[in-house]
Structure 1
Amino acid sequence: MNNMNNKINKRINETLVMIKMICLLFSAIVCYNYLFEKSIKETTIQSYNVVIVFLSVAILLIAYILWSFNNITKEKDKSKITSVIEYTSLMTIMFITILLLGKEQGNYKFLFLFIIILANIEGGLKFSLYTAISSSAMVLIMDFLFNGFQSFNVLLSNNLIIIISFVFVALVLGLYFKVQDEHKKELEHIANTDMLTGLYNYRYFNYILQELYCNAKKENSFLALMMIDIDNLREYNELYGRQQGDLALKKLSSIIKEWSETEDTLARYEGDEFAIILKGATEEYALQRGENLRKKIEEESFSKEGGNQANLMVSIGISHYPSKAKTDVEMIRFAQEALFKAKVLKKNKVEIYNSILDDLNNELQEAQNDPDLINSLKTIISIINAKDKCSFSHLKRVVMYSKLVADEMNLNDEEKKQLIYAAYMHDIGKVRISKEILLKDVPLSTDEWEMLMEHPVSGVEIIQPIKTLELIAPLVLHHHERYDGGGYPSGLKGQEIPYLARLLSIIDSFDAMTSYRTYNKRKTFEEAFLELRKCSGTQFDGVLVEKFISIVKKNTNKIEFIRT
């Protein structure tokens, strides 16, 4: 709708400029014809030619300046002062033109109608009435200059039809364009607004985010985006019904409006998801405001009248330009990733986007490691991302799965830390494998398989210098061992394989089966469960397989969220 408006406004502006030029050129032609005829009658062609050339050049120059000025300002709204100056200039040119033509050419006074119509289109009813009154005053002054001193009544009666025409055209066209403008605004409101909540809709949100991003980039300023999702709306709807759920969404929207600041842009993104654009906000300020909003919603009662106490909770994901996101598309994607992290790990939480490299950096810095080694690891993971986007996406999902499984299995803090660190590092040895092998979409040759099977050993060699990662070396080394002893690199079997390495192997394989790979058709959850059970006791620890399947079934929504 906004793009359409921009196109329409652009075309109207171009039409207005053309009419103004035609008006000016028409004045030049009238002057030329009249003065040329007069010069022939009075046989003073040379002197009048000078006047003709001067007037023609002057008027064409003004037309050119007007055209250039409108081309410069056609993307912006002109100020009232600029419009007044422009139309005063046009009326003055018209006044001088008719005045030069003399009394016998007074019928050209109707040329002022061009200017009144233009003023109506560009400035509306009030502006066109002012233009009509000014034009009428000029006509009266002109008549006075033509005929000498007369009473006001005589001047008015001589030009009554012209003045009435000016005012009538201004009034009728003004009222027409006013109705059209009101109708246009109403259509814009319908097109850009979500009818249930009264917030902006998805379409307008995308348009305004792009516009605000461009402004922030141009002005070198901050921009933050919040994505909000209601954690327990499904249960609320099941308990109270969808109509009450809609009322809850309306109330939530009112809370967001009350919480918002003047320059915030509020939108219903889709379903039970909302988006808020914070203009000029730093990361810290956006996080603080997100936490304030989360608490405000949590403390509010959404109970049905006469019913039991009911509360809604929200998870909030935040992205920021320019500290994290570099484009408006990245702002949406990063905010959704942060939201997904908040919902998967712990609902009713505010998360600001950090890439997996930032998360790794935070995890390892807490252990006071050598910053140079940490940066080296981050660089290696970045190289893997550059080589193979699928491997990098797989890494992010395995980390999230590991965090979820660690929580659900109530692993102790040390085990949890080891499993998550190993999830980050389990494929780091792939940095030594060529891109051609990683991306190959046909079966690997024997030599290529042997190269690929070296990545656990390579991974251990890479992480060895970092003291904090010593304990995860066995997990990285043995996450491709098989329960029956047929795996690599050491051929360990059964309980010889470290417990967390057996668990990581199941997580790793489940994601490989349920995500897109060039060499493998993506499986559904049920198909992946069948495969895991089929390989229980041979490739995988059967007890851990059942525990993992139980966790996935219990957290299907969270797992689906991880896969999107």
Structure 2
Amino acid sequence: MPKRTLGVFKPSRNHLYALFLCLAGLSLFVGFNHGEFIHYTSPTWVWVYALTGAAVLLTVLVFQLPPQGNGLSLDSSVYLACVFVFGAPFTLSVLLFTSIINFFIERKTVWWKHLSNFALYTMMITAASATFKLLGGVEGPLLSQRLSAYAGSMAVYFVLNTLLIGFYYYMVFQEELFATLKGMVKDTLLAYLSTLVLSLVLTIMLVHNQIVGLALFLFLSVLLSYAFKQMFIMYRELEARANRDQRTGLFNHSYFEVVLEEEMRKSRASGSELSMAMIDIDDFKKYNDHFGHLKGDSLIVFLAELFKKATTDTEIIVSRYGGEEFTLLMPGYDSLTAKQFIEDLRKNLNNSLFEGSEIFPQGCLSFSAGIAAYQPDIHDKSELVDHADQALYYAKKQGKNMVHLYGNQSPLEQDIDFSQDVRDIEQQLNLFMYKDMETFKHSKRVFRYAMDISELLELDTLSKRQFTLGALIHDIGKLEIPWSILNKKDKLEPEEWEMVKWHVTWGKKMALTNEKFKDLAPYIELHHERYDGKGYPYGFKGEEIPRLCRMLTIIDSFDAMTTQRPYQSTKSVKEAIIELRECAGTQFDPGLTELFIQYIESRELLKNDAGVSNVH
């Protein structure tokens, strides 16, 4: 027989948190209840049965709340009313029997989750009871002069519930704790308020109307639970209509934007793979012009159905991006796996029969697709979209009916494209020659620094292209600044300085108008962000700023310090190095600063050696 190897069990964070809850809850139960139900009289048992039945019924009638679909039930109103009328030991007895019944009703739920839930309720009940007594509350009829005790205990119950559950989500999903708690309060506040008010109603009815009062309360609570459930169903229906493209049934552009941001956040937090494909039907306009828009719409629907069928058993999110363009958001797919999936999809379409497909140049239905993989230094969802869009543009340029990975051109093609891109940018920079010659020269110097640094950092071809071209075009937005401010000899006034700061935003908008230079936008927009978060335009901090943008900030600042400027004195290379080191960790990335300084010092050493050689 083959031997089995027993792996070492490593408890996860949520298991450890559940263990903590269980130990704390069970300790409180023993401390407050200590088996007092053994001594109950028959009338007391009647109340235990009745209130346990009420709690079980309301636990079963769980409803969901928009927008996140958080589950909630009104059983807490029963427990709080028990605290106010009978006290904590009795309430814990009701909780115990309710939990046992629920364990048999929900047998599919793992046992430790039942135990954790029991412990959670125990902690909330005991905390609410202690607060109630601390604020002068008296068990029995509702006393109007003690309203602060009721309000305080209900607040503690609500806050403790939010904190304990919110911390669980924080532990499991690694979400920001404050954001998690804020979202929970926002989503559940109305239902919690209803629960708390109902607990006071039940308190009055238990004392004055007893079993009949409990029955009336249950009737009201069931109706309320049903109303909440119907409200959530209506919300989901409206949400589905708002998020779906009416013609194809796929998700629409707006929903794609939302889910893209969410998937990028998940990928960033967990380190999981994420790819995105952008697909465009080849020669769709020709088909539309030949057969008319109705037939063209049926082609779009046909392709949508093909995508739906291919992604049925996957986590891929298909959206109609607009017109004849589609996006596939692919969690868990790296770029190569994504490409293979889209290639299979393309071949499937090529072999699909559709009326009129013979008029296409390929002789069949076809699409072009661009794929981009998410990287941790992509700080904005628009960047990933731009990368996929550029890859799609390249696929179209290569003859259509193909799938292209972003940045996957051959070395020769990349060199040719890079040379052409440099010429195109230089043509735009020539406009500075009549407006501000210093900015023109500065851009060229920063470009040369970036070329050297890209070799030092051993960047891949795509990163080198983006970094160096970004360095060349980084100040393009200054074309929008008035000549009088750009060439002012005196110190800039505050309002003039504010105008200068706008050049990063103007430059970004200029880059986005050109399909080829969309991926350079971060270098234009973020080269004045600071490592300590005190830069502009967003105040990004540390790793929030892409690494090469942090390096561009250092290069840009060094050249600005060592070059004559109208509004500042010029520093020597030695003085500039001293200032770089002084600002490392505040304005500049410390590691990249030291790397750049080593480059400058080695360059200066070579200059000095060359000077000595020339003298000899």
* TM-score under structure 2 length normalisation: 0.41
* TM-score under structure 1 length normalisation: 0.44
Larger radius of gyration: 1
